[in-house]
Structure 1
């Protein structure tokens, strides 16, 4: 089982599960934990090959799939007997959350998708193609630093870049290649995954400077019934690090709203 950590507020409190992106770990949520644990029970996971899950052997899998990675998270929920939870995902972690929504939607009360990846634009596809051409001959940290700079180019994004590069150093070259393979054909995969909208309340929280991923998210949200978009000013791709106070305000408010709505429905049904 992948590594996880919990903060328990109380048995009557809602659960919130955080899912980081590729190259990161649960430590990227350090600006959220204090505010969240005042309101919710928290579950932090380190995805396979990341953080404290790095040394957990997965001999059955030579290559990773999004289904494999999402199953890891579901296994933790089942182990902890968490029947339903709100999810907060960042970057590639938003794909994992949406994969869980497709596989076991009853486990998800609401989704907060930050720096969401719903489609790779031309520039990001070119980066992926370049990476696949040279990944066997170029040290992976060179590639990761390049990707981090292209995705988060502003001086305001310096802290986010530094955090992700620092976390990525904990990966090994083999692990990087396994995760990098997930990017092959990702647009086709996302088109299928996101073709149908699950009836789950969803908020996309995007930085207004996330130029690589924001346009596709705006298009996606405009076509959805249960989703809304919140733009955060002066923020790039890693909005929870660039503007943590605003991110916490928006995301916690959204989750509390969904929790109250569900409680109201439950009360009405009892009556």
Structure 2
């Protein structure tokens, strides 16, 4: 059972929409931890030609960071809680079903949403997908957990950003994530950091119990930390496929937007 109820109607997540003049199809964009809906600015021009769009800022992120909740000051929250926040936005907009596009940790939220409310998810595009923390990423998380109470969270976030996105071609995406992370408060960072402990058991469950939805994994070939676990996931699942983007790292929608848009839009149209 979820530890916290979905947000009340007067504290709904910040979201914005772009309406297509004729399309009935909706695409919902879900950013990763420390980011915001601004991460999708390179998708807007192409996607709005084909679909209605929804951009969401998750709890404590972007313009949702301005909202305070008494219950959240007392405890943390789970992937269930954050996924239910997204369902609440869908209900508010009267969207019965949509295609979902996520990046990094946002890909886990999309899969959790598909588990909790399968009728709301038509397809899943999972960019820079996190399907398991390997030894290196687990070590990084443990180091962060050890230092999170004594080190300013922005120092930790910069360290994570450089480890996840170390190459010269990743300067823009790294800078965007660091800029957005400054909007998080220390307590909010710790709440999201605690979710990292739930990643491996949750994704092990999804690996063994396939979510029967058309799923496209879009991964940069240089995403050295998460590529191998994604390949293992796709090998087990009949409804999933993997497209690798050359000369590209973790945040592939920013680093290679042309390729990301082309592959993802084509996938959604073919499976809509």
TM-score clears 0.5: yes
2:243 to 207, 230, 253: 230
Deviations 1:166-224 (A, max 9, x none): 11111111111110010124212221244211221000000000000000000100110
Shift in Å at residue 258 of structure 1? 1.0
Structure 1 equivalent of residue 35 of structure 2: 24
SS at match of 1:106: helix
Count of residues in Structure 1 that have an aligned counterpart in Structure 2: 259
Q: In 2, Cα distance between the equivalents of 1:39 and 1:11?
A: 9
TM-score (norm 2): 0.93
**Counterpart contact for 1:114–1:238, Cα < 8 Å:** yes
For 1:61-113, what per-residue CA distance to the aligned partner results, in whole angstroms no more than 9, with x for missing partners?
Answer: 31010000000000000111100000000000000000001011111110000
Query: Which residue is 1:177 aligned to?
Result: 190
SS of 2:99's equivalent?
Answer: strand
Residue 239 (1) aligns with residue 252 (2): yes
Equivalent residue number for residue 161 of structure 2: 148
Question: Hey, what's the Cα distance between the residues in 1 that align with 2:84 and 2:258?
Answer: 31
SS at match of 1:42: strand
Q: Does 1:102 align with 2:115?
A: yes
The separation in 1 between residues aligned to 2:123 and 2:16, in whole angstroms, is 21
State how 1:151-230 maps to structure 2 within 5 Å: 151-230=164-243
Superposed, which structure 2 residues align to 1:102-121 within 5 Å? 102-121=115-134
SS of the equivalent of 2:132 reads coil
Q: Find the partner of 2:101 among 88, 92, 109.
A: 88
- Contact 1:148–1:165 under 8 Å retained in 2: yes
Q: Which digits, 9 at most, give the CA deviation of each residue in 1:15-73, with x for residues without a partner? A: 00000000000000000011101110000000000000002123223101000000000
Say whether residues 1:2 and 2:5 are aligned partners. Answer: no
3-state SS in 2 of match to 1:89: strand
Secondary structure, in 3 states, of the residue corresponding to 2:20? coil
2:3 is matched with none
Tell me how large the CA RMSD over aligned residues is.
1.0
Partner Cα distance (2:217, 2:116) in 1 = 20
Contact 1:157–1:242 (Cα < 8 Å) also in 2? yes
Native 8 Å contact 1:13 1:39 kept in 2 = no
